[in-house]
Amino acid sequence: MTECAVGSEGAVDPTVGQFDPATWRKAFASEPNGGNCVEVNFSTAKVGLRDSKLAQSPVFVLAPGEWQAFATAISSG
């Protein structure tokens, strides 16, 4: 299966395979069975988000500034 991702401008990101499979992180407060959560992966120049239940799910790719804005908005409610 070929991985692909949609970047911030709706373009497919062909470099999604550069996310290290061992560095995906899930929220501490995730359900015990691992469901209903997203995983995040920080690389040098981008941040990947995916469904924690589907390791082969599409990956949304954000620039670090976009991730910061997203995280700030979530924290602010």
Bridge pairing between strands 5-6 and 59-62: parallel
pLDDT, residue 36, reads 67
Q: Which two tokens stand for residue 45?
A: 């120049």
The residue assigned the tokens 């373009």 is: 11
- Over residues 8-63, the pLDDT tens digits come to 444 455 555 678 888 888 877 666 665 668 889 998 889 998 888 776 778 888 99
Average pLDDT of span 63-71: 92
pLDDT value of residue 26: 83
- List the helix and strand counts (H, then E) for the chain: 1, 5
Question: What is the domain count for the chain?
Answer: 1
Angle at 34 between CA 25 and CA 65, to 5 degrees: 30
What residue numbers bound the domain in which 44 lies?
5-76
Q: What is the pTM of this model?
A: 0.67
